[in-house]
Structure 1
Amino acid sequence: MNNFIIIFVFLILGIVLQKVKQFPANSYKLLNKIVINVCLPALSLYYIPKIQWNNQLLYPVGVAWIGFIISFFLFRFLGNKYGWSKKLTGCLILTAGLSNTSFLGFPIIEALYGEEGMKTAILVDQPGSFVVLSTLGILVAMFYSTGKPNGLLIAKKIVLFPPFIAFMVACFMNLFHFDFQDGMQFVLQKTGSGVTPLALLSVGLQLRFDIRSQHWRFLGLGLLYKLILTPAIIYLLYAVVLNQHSEIIQVSIMESAMAPMITGCILASTYGLKPRLCSMMIGFGIPLSFVTLAFWYLVLQLI
């Protein structure tokens, strides 16, 4: 219960601080940098060396890849059929195809499944969402904005990204059965715990509700795929077709049901792929996801 209180307190605090003129308007950018470059690497270095690897772990890693690839083919098909602009198609692929598996996912999974759930959430996020964003995501952004993807730039972004570096270091530590001593583990755990308040404060600072927008139809389509169809597809594939019912599967499905990824929306906006629709996907997607996440959590208690 305390974790849920923290979630709503910092989310509402961020929304309130938007109205305070003395509060820097772009402060969320600093918070994002701290979360991405400090807190997320700390979580990887704390949790991944402790994970016992097995075939079950392929399921959380595959969540982001499955969701994004289906998003690509679905919205590319709809875009061609109905004559959408390349920017609109690219925007929907990116914003509907990527889940907010860290900024929202980590605090929610920790609240629902505890520390064991976080081990799975890290796998959904790092080799899943982050690598998809940094490879397929950038390819889509470049293609639908300029049509000229830059392979060297993609490779550079992956290799030099602090969470990815920490993820690779943590994987090698796990491979060689090495972990930090207690003092360092305490530091990493406390540093990583900053994800919840800082990420949710950042989300609150960025929430926008554009009532007069012309993008309502596309907003509804994007959120339908992100909040309903994506987790339904993962549920059918993992729980029904493959008959998997472990807590790892539950966490994987919950992570797939998260609101659109903020970083993915920022990437789409940066490349000029319908920035206003990007903001709406975050602004309406995050509050609505609390309702749909409750629905999916209840569904998962039945399997």
Structure 2
Amino acid sequence: MFNNPLARIHLCGSPRHGSQLDLARKEAFVFVAIYSIFVFMFLGYFANRVRLLGDRQGNILLGFLLNFALPSAIFTGVYHSSVSLELLGLFALALVCNLVAGALAFVFVSKILRFDFGTSLAMAFLVSLHNTLFLGVPIVQGALGEQAAHKAIVLDQFCTGLPLAVLTPLLLSLSSKTKFRIQSVLVRLFASPLFLSMLCAFALKAMPFSIPEVLFAPILALAACATPVALFAIGVQLRFDFLRLLWRKVLVVLGFGMFVAPLLYLAILWLFQVPLQEDHQMVLLEVAMPPLISAVAVIARAGLDSKLAISCIVAGVPIAAFSTPLWLYISHL
């Protein structure tokens, strides 16, 4: 995670201006986080362009990320987070909004725009799964702090990790690559170090004793590598040549994923007159993230349009830099 230098700045003012100052501080933190995100991604893109990294080094980097750094970040995040039933309800609401936005996108592109079934399926898949870990967690930490980032890691597993495990075999089945089986979902889940690290963290939280913080030192060191390594890996995968040809489809995917889904979430909260607190804002920022990086591999495996997936990720990251302060502002209205 990022050590934000702006966290040492204290903004003082009268109660009348407290909310405006708080919003200004959060937006400043977001810009610092986004600046760091772009630096790490640029380094990865630069390394790829000048051939500092080959496929072998990239696979080693990805293996370290998925099997060590990210599980460490998830373990420490889940263990140190305070997850209430109310927060789990917000996670469920976020998941429903993502899936409804995906369903609406499928209907829109298949019935109105008349895209073929495979393209419509790929676009709905991209809308439903968001980059809540690689991109969302550092942005949440920049905007709302470390405790909110811990909760965002838990959200990622409920709103992205679990749905990915279910939707991947379903997508492969619908694209006629395999037959959908519940067994394949369970195998995918329990073979994932990310899911297992979450289960271990919840199991240890339920114990009548706490783990001494000194034992977390190596885990925290590995977790600290997760964000820069993940963003670096995103930069390595960036491709800009597809975006020019697919920009209309990209706008549809990002419109439904980054704007319709969070608007649905806000509309439900406002309908029930729920005052927006920090947890609500954290979930809002995560729901507004661009598509999941792993969706590229899944869509390619299904024989669908992986170029569209890459283009959505490329365009989604800079859009998130502008949309995140907008959602923070709206959440303070």
Indicate the residue corresponding to 1:12 in structure 2. 42
Shift of 1:267: 1.1
**Paired residue total:** 302
Indicate the residue corresponding to 2:117 in structure 1. 86
| Equivalent residues in 2 for 1:78-227, closer than 5 Å | 78-82=108-112, 83-146=114-177, 148-210=179-241, 214-227=245-258
Extract unaligned runs of 5+ from structure 1. none
Change beyond 3 A, Cα 1:178–1:229: farther
- Tell me which moved more, 202-211 or 60-69: 60-69
- Tell me which moved more, 176-185 or 109-118: 176-185
- Structure 1 residues 118-140: Cα deviation after superposition (integer angstroms, max 9, x where no partner): 12201210122100111134313
CA distance in 1, matches of 2:135, 2:58: 15
CA distance in 2, matches of 1:266, 1:294: 30
Helix, strand or coil at the partner of 2:145: helix
Q: Is 2:107 the counterpart of 1:77?
A: yes
CA distance in 2, matches of 1:177, 1:252: 30
Question: Which AA in structure 2 matches 1:189?
Answer: L
Shift of 1:234: 1.3
CA distance in 2, matches of 1:57, 1:241: 16
Q: 2:292 aligns with which of 241, 261, 270?
A: 261
Q: 2:60 aligns with which of 30, 33, 36?
A: 30
Q: Is 2:293 the counterpart of 1:275?
A: no
Shift of 1:20: 0.8
Query: Residue 130 of structure 2 contacts residue 160 of structure 2 at CA under 8 Å; is this kept in 1?
Result: yes
Query: Residue 71 of structure 1 contacts residue 96 of structure 1 at CA under 8 Å; is this kept in 2?
Result: yes
Shift of 1:110: 1.5
Q: CA RMSD in A?
A: 2.2
Shift of 1:147: 6.8
Shift of 1:239: 4.4
Shift of 1:246: 1.5
TM-score of the aligned structures, taking structure 2 as reference length: 0.83
- Tell me which moved more, 47-56 or 21-30: 21-30
Query: Residue 102 of structure 2 contacts residue 127 of structure 2 at CA under 8 Å; is this kept in 1?
Result: no
Extract unaligned runs of 5+ from structure 2. 6-31
CA distance in 2, matches of 1:24, 1:54: 44
CA distance in 2, matches of 1:229, 1:62: 17
Change beyond 3 A, Cα 1:262–1:64: farther
CA distance in 1, matches of 2:97, 2:233: 25
CA distance in 2, matches of 1:26, 1:69: 36
CA distance in 1, matches of 2:287, 2:45: 25
Query: Residue 238 of structure 2 contacts residue 314 of structure 2 at CA under 8 Å; is this kept in 1?
Result: yes
- Tell me which moved more, 241-250 or 124-133: 241-250
CA distance in 2, matches of 1:26, 1:216: 32
Change beyond 3 A, Cα 1:55–1:239: farther
Change beyond 3 A, Cα 1:288–1:168: same
Q: Which has the larger radius of gyration?
A: 2
Shift of 1:206: 1.2
Query: Residue 106 of structure 2 contacts residue 123 of structure 2 at CA under 8 Å; is this kept in 1?
Result: no
Shift of 1:56: 2.1
Query: Percent identity, aligned pairs only?
Result: 22
Shift of 1:247: 0.6
Shift of 1:101: 0.5
Query: Residue 63 of structure 1 contacts residue 234 of structure 1 at CA under 8 Å; is this kept in 2?
Result: yes
- Structure 1 residues 31-74: Cα deviation after superposition (integer angstroms, max 9, x where no partner): 33322221222123223233334222124422552144213421
Query: Residue 49 of structure 1 contacts residue 170 of structure 1 at CA under 8 Å; is this kept in 2?
Result: yes
- Structure 1 residues 189-248: Cα deviation after superposition (integer angstroms, max 9, x where no partner): 221111221011111111111257543321111010111111111122234435141211
